[in-house]
Amino acid sequence: MISEVVMATSGDNAPLWILAAGPAGAVATYWALYRYYRNTDKSHAYERDTLIQAQPVQGSEEKVDHISKTRDSDIDGDNSSKHRVRVERLG
């Protein structure tokens, strides 16, 4: 069986990455179960569960550059949804 697999992976149609399914599945299972039991990722969502009254958002955007060709499908360091990741403080 193992020799067949090794031979298959060296063939033209053999997607080598599929062999990562076992280790990846094991790690994902461990992590999902651990998190379900220990809930290490949970916290009070004060951004949503607090009474907040906001004025309309103000702001502007100005085009400063153009990327003509990149393989990245998104911007580097996207933190627009990571509200609790702090960046440089001004003032």
| Nearest Cα residue to 65 out of 75, 77, 73 | 75
| Nearest Cα residue to 32 out of 43, 40, 20, 44 | 40
Residue 49 beta carbon to another protein: minimum distance, rounded to whole angstroms: 5
Residue 87 beta carbon to another protein: minimum distance, rounded to whole angstroms: 5
Residue 10 beta carbon to another protein: minimum distance, rounded to whole angstroms: 9
